Structure 1
């Protein structure tokens, strides 16, 4: 029972958090949330989540809105917008865009599946055909503009968030066709005051706060003057309405912004009034986010508890072994290496990934661009410090009596030995631990239609077309954590701090700081620049800025892997179980959300 406590606590947190998130998302039963799968162009599978408020029927049709996420996101990331629209009586369809989440790639479709979703929702008998709108964040904004211009007769209102219209006419590779003053639908823009991508969306401006001076905003507003925030232009009843708003948010921050969500709700209220009138700031998404975070933490604790239980059960208990005795690393050597690692992680975050993106790109075996750049980035850093470690061993380590045994490379705690049967058991422990967490999440996801997530940081089940991809990515990720654990526990081993709990906590924290502080410093520099100068510190346009935003995902990843790496080493006496488990877990967490 003692070995089951954490397992039970984790399970209870997952169930409590997921149930609470589900009840909030469904309005305590007032909103029916269902999975939707349709066939898009070329027969591609398109996945979506639909929210249908109670009382909606063919005799009492409701206005509807299709809500599209941005690049390297999924439908769940827009759930805050979806929930608040549904609470006000709108039918909501939140799709995974082409190549994202559960949707397959649709080649040469500028709407990325939104056009197909628009036609689907417009044909639903319980949707008012004259009141169907589109909302899109970032790339989703370009997608909804494209879909609206291709299906003008189906759309009443289009709102882009952290995005724009136009770009194709300027020869820009991204963007969308331009929305004219007589496009046939109302058009709104919500753009964060600190949005990093102003130069992508409003090419003639350097600061997001100045997007109201952009010709790319003035053109659809049919004005030569600076656009006034919050002012209604045109006639919303006739489909010529235009309005722009701004919240004090970054590009990704609008997902967690009450003011941004309220602004978008207000735009739709002018065009297609909500069946259920609520103050735009009457919002409950924050509680769902908190509940999802509880479930996220619970899932990690559940897997850690399962790991502890497995290591106490026959025959897998043979994996648990004492840690070979070894003197801790010199504090000066540890500090010097830690500083070098943090500096390398910070300085190479953007340039190394940009090099990998432009030089290596993707392949049939490794089709996920940012998974590839992450592997090259972290892999190169690990290999570089592995070289330093080897030099240190030849010059100093051997004289200290260091061996492969003391570095955690032996499957026997007493003598240097390499036993494939031991590795098979270690792999079994890792596989069962991750599989147990996966099955629990898959049940939660399918039964309650909620993920375990906070903000953009989520874990979701893998669709069928992602499983085959995962098999390829698990090899490099295991290799990265094999080296990382070797460096952390074989070379830079800390001293003993007394109790086992204290050792686990301090070693985990130290590993997390060394692995992630460099990324955190880059993000802090970027945010500091945005909030003080209005411009990003790294990158004015393109993928370099995106690399920094995606860096947010590395922080929880390293928090989780630091826990498992440390516990596995201290419980098994070697680096194998931790490397295997962290490689599997990272593959799942990365492959589940990366776009094709």
Structure 2
């Protein structure tokens, strides 16, 4: 075995160890060390659809000895897995927990926002379950999941005992209004730096939440609400409690304080709980993050092995000479590459998600915004490259760009086979992990999930537009920005391209959150959703840069990298976004 093959084998082994070792750790954390049984369940809706969910059942719970129940609901463009921290700790304390995918999210039938955000039918299912004490049920929801909880409480006022709203509020976006008696025994866990303070409790800043007139009316007071003080009475259902952990809206999922305060309020307001020590949920999160790292790492030996396999070798040629030099013009181009996508980000994301029609071809609002952003970047890349070529006298037919097609469709086909083989191998790994451990690849807000049949259909509709984007990006990175230094050193090339692609978004988040932490509000408060989505860009763009650069250095052409990234990113985006069209 030559050195290159040995290196591929070593990386494969490391990747598989991370994938399966991390997933085993995630399974251990999700099941609280084996003390909780996690089951996949389907909740029927009034129109004959289904809501997908996980049911967490502690050891010892039976129909003859039922346990208190908790309905846990995630926020917008999340899935049931983001409720793991809450669900695990609830289950450890003796609760049967139902964590659902909201309608149009994860594997639940679309459209998004239907059936009271999924809250009422999920509460019905939980209350009727023979393992659950129907007179002892709590509701918990994060962000839009809080609206699902309030909707469930309004529709079934006699089927729950308490509610915890995490980063959420009553009376927002059509959710039922709250007052000093509704919902019953309300806990509000609203973070000190919550980006949605203006939407939820209608304040100028997040720290001003205790002064919110809306919150005060729910707490039955005309004075600023005191954090940590119980208002009202648990016995008659009028109790109110406010906690403000020092984290952000998405940070509440991974905050021991937020998780602890949420679970503690439910323990205080329900009967039959068990005392627990510490928290275990973070082992699940660490495990899925390691599995994600292993999955990304797997792509590199997969490309290396496939591109040198006999029938596919024609996809590769010698690495061409660079076109660019690291002069002043290169730095101008690098800065533009970093900054222009950020300048386009908010306008295109807002326009695409709010103004583009939701149809069977374009069924995901936030994906529409991402696609519009991608195509706007294509236009800018084409214009700037065209200007550079006109001034330099070069042509895109120059083989140094890697745009040549070798023997024509055969080269494109072999490049596609390399890309499909690598992404398909990753998909198979995730399928095995899902079947064996009921976990996915995930790090905080970035998750890689299997696609449903409907996701595959949507994937095919968005794929062409994202392929055009990644093809333009390949030409930019490996044409205009590839120098002698990045041609001779793969590591330097990956690092350079990662910094160029990601730097602008890092700067954007630094400005937004620097202002948030200093003043209590984002610099642009109305862009809260898009700002949180930008964290996923920061996670994905270094992967795009590394995969793209490795593929180019391995094949000498742009095709394999453009095809692989378009397949991978379209999969990740489509599987993680809400479906708004009522298929």
Q: 1:110, 1:146 within 8 Å by CA — same for their partners in 2?
A: no
The answer for the alignment partner of 2:157 in structure 1 is 152
How far, CA to CA, are the matches of 2:50 and 2:111 in structure 1? 9
The answer for the alignment partner of 1:469 in structure 2 is 458
- Residue 107 of structure 1 deviates from its aligned partner by 7.4
Give me the TM-score of the superposition, normalised by structure 2.
Answer: 0.95
The farther-off stretch of 247-256 and 2-11 is 2-11
The answer for the alignment partner of 2:481 in structure 1 is 492
- Residue 448 of structure 1 deviates from its aligned partner by 0.9
How far, CA to CA, are the matches of 1:379 and 1:198 in structure 2? 32
SS in 2 for 1:496: helix
SS in 1 for 2:235: helix
The answer for the alignment partner of 2:543 in structure 1 is 560
The farther-off stretch of 385-394 and 480-489 is 385-394
SS in 2 for 1:111: helix
How far, CA to CA, are the matches of 2:71 and 2:480 in structure 1? 53
Matches within 5 A, 1:370-409: 370-398=366-394, 403-409=397-403
Query: Which of 487, 491, 497 is 1:505 aligned to?
Result: 491
Residue ranges of structure 2 left out of the alignment (5+ in a row): none
The answer for the alignment partner of 2:414 in structure 1 is 425
SS in 2 for 1:43: coil
Task: Indicate how the Cα distance of structure 1 residues 550 and 498 shifts in structure 2: closer, same or farther if over 3 A, else same.
Answer: closer
Query: Which of 519, 524, 531 is 2:510 aligned to?
Result: 524
Indicate whether 1:66 and 2:97 are aligned. Answer: no
Query: Which of 90, 98, 101 is 1:96 aligned to?
Result: 101
- Residue 497 of structure 1 deviates from its aligned partner by 5.6
The answer for the alignment partner of 2:358 in structure 1 is 362
The answer for the alignment partner of 1:434 in structure 2 is 423
How far, CA to CA, are the matches of 2:552 and 2:486 in structure 1? 16
Q: 1:383, 1:483 within 8 Å by CA — same for their partners in 2?
A: no
The farther-off stretch of 270-279 and 219-228 is 270-279
The answer for the alignment partner of 1:575 in structure 2 is 558
Indicate whether 1:349 and 2:345 are aligned. Answer: yes
How far, CA to CA, are the matches of 2:182 and 2:355 in structure 1? 41
Task: Indicate how the Cα distance of structure 1 residues 324 and 70 shifts in structure 2: closer, same or farther if over 3 A, else same.
Answer: same
- Residue 42 of structure 1 deviates from its aligned partner by 0.7
How far, CA to CA, are the matches of 2:430 and 2:553 in structure 1? 28
- Residue 75 of structure 1 deviates from its aligned partner by 0.7
The answer for the alignment partner of 1:181 in structure 2 is 180
Indicate whether 1:57 and 2:62 are aligned. Answer: yes
Query: Which of 274, 277, 280 is 1:284 aligned to?
Result: 280
Q: 2:119, 2:148 within 8 Å by CA — same for their partners in 1?
A: yes
Indicate whether 1:132 and 2:137 are aligned. Answer: yes
How far, CA to CA, are the matches of 1:192 and 1:107 in structure 2? 25
How far, CA to CA, are the matches of 1:312 and 1:407 in structure 2? 21
RMSD: 1.7
Q: How many residues align?
A: 574
- Residue 238 of structure 1 deviates from its aligned partner by 2.5
Indicate whether 1:410 and 2:404 are aligned. Answer: yes
Q: 2:163, 2:183 within 8 Å by CA — same for their partners in 1?
A: no
How far, CA to CA, are the matches of 2:121 and 2:435 in structure 1? 24
Indicate whether 1:13 and 2:22 are aligned. Answer: no
Residue ranges of structure 1 left out of the alignment (5+ in a row): 168-173, 413-417
